[in-house]
Structure 1
């Protein structure tokens, strides 16, 4: 540059930096909104699978209710009413643990949570790989089982179909799974054995109203009345009186006659 030549002054870069800062803030805000609000990829996922302890299982179940993911937490055989609860849960607006896991019986824990302004109690028992939920009851905690053994007891010495049916009803009322299975005939389908356990996992109590002894058919039919999970319901037990090893229960209808 020679003397006398004019050099224009350099333009300040202040506005450039301000513009870049504003763009950065807008981008960061958008990422934060998408990450924490929707779709929420920055949020940590609630644990819905841990069940090594009753405490873990109860929290996983509550988290699963909020997210509609509890299928892996149920026991293989569970109460009949738990299926109705699962449908109700689909309309839930979330859940919050209200009563932590606590022991109710030798091998059973309970817990409670609130969902859609309702209290729901769950009962938990040991299972392969940890614990599982065997029952869910709206309005309070389920009554504990006297035991979780599922192997049948020795066959009782009964002489008539009416005796076999009465032994079976008494076992249902006592919620004694081994005693109930012990009176079933050996050839009954697995669905019948599982159905008996489903009823016991809930809360049922029956009274024998009358017994029809069909001598020619070697069969006895017991007509029942009772409560199944708080709902009035009839019931029906049919026995095979000429079975090898003595009279036994061939079929059980828990809510129809």
Structure 2
């Protein structure tokens, strides 16, 4: 055995530095975190708290839900089943609006009616709220101010009045429209009028209409009377037409109502 000879074998390789690996991993994690934060809080915003657009147990909840819904164009489920005609036109405005903020909190205007107001797209919009199925609902929306309250939210027809002529029945009907009295208006409708007519009468009353009888035609042979109306529907000039059946069951009754045409 010879001593002192050099020892041959594998030399330990120098360990490579992992510094750049950690720097790269850190940069990747930062980029991922930034991307998640952007998509979560900006778009599509899944980290954001969604605004409440469904609560309507109280007028206060409904008014805020409606404003939130307008801001997101999601207020359709908050309307009453029968509501004002102008509220449908408001939905088109709502779709083009920019945000919405409550400006006047819910406050009572009548026995079973509350109002509130908000601003959207540089305009003030008032809403009227009444009890409905499953909570409160919005029956009217008016640009420029709060809607006038109804004297009653009752929708059951009043007892049929004792009228002798078609002209008398038509006049009572027009008076009920002007007084915004839903039970009185429905009480002089014929029993067989379509549901669309009954709903249309209520739509007009939920808004703000005012009629005067301009001319009356009594068609004796046809047993019919036609009342030609001059009117304002939500501030817009419009004619109207009421037709009666003068030999209806229970006496003369209103068989047809055209709220904005003659």
TM-score, normalised on structure 1? 0.94
Name the SS for the 1:173 alignment partner: helix
CA shift digits 1:27-51 (9 cap, x unpaired): 1111101111112111121111111
Stretches of 4+ moved more than 3 A in 1?
5-19
Q: Residues of 1 paired with 2:130 and 2:168: CA distance?
A: 32
Query: What residue in structure 2 maps to residue 240 of structure 1?
Result: 245
Calculate the aligned-residue CA RMSD, in Å.
1.6
> What is the aligned counterpart of 1:83 among 69, 80, 88?
88
- 2:166 counterpart of 1:161: yes
- 2:220 counterpart of 1:208: no
Name the SS for the 1:20 alignment partner: helix
Query: What residue in structure 2 maps to residue 47 of structure 1?
Result: 52
Query: What residue in structure 1 maps to residue 147 of structure 2?
Result: 142
Query: What residue in structure 1 maps to residue 125 of structure 2?
Result: 120
Which stretch has the larger CA shift, 219-228 or 89-98? 89-98
Query: What residue in structure 1 maps to residue 35 of structure 2?
Result: 30
Query: What residue in structure 2 maps to residue 198 of structure 1?
Result: 203
Query: What residue in structure 1 maps to residue 156 of structure 2?
Result: 151
> What is the aligned counterpart of 1:106 among 103, 106, 111?
111
Query: What residue in structure 1 maps to residue 4 of structure 2?
Result: none
Which stretch has the larger CA shift, 36-45 or 246-255? 36-45
Task: Specify every segment of 5 or more residues in structure 2 that has no aligned partner in the other structure, as ranges.
Answer: 1-6
Query: What residue in structure 1 maps to residue 3 of structure 2?
Result: none
Q: Which has the larger radius of gyration?
A: 2
CA shift digits 1:99-141 (9 cap, x unpaired): 1111111000111111110111111100111011100111111
Task: Specify every segment of 5 or more residues in structure 1 that has no aligned partner in the other structure, as ranges.
Answer: none
**How many residues matched?**
254
Once the 2 structures are TM-superposed, how far is the Cα of residue 9 of structure 1 from its aligned partner? Answer: 6.8
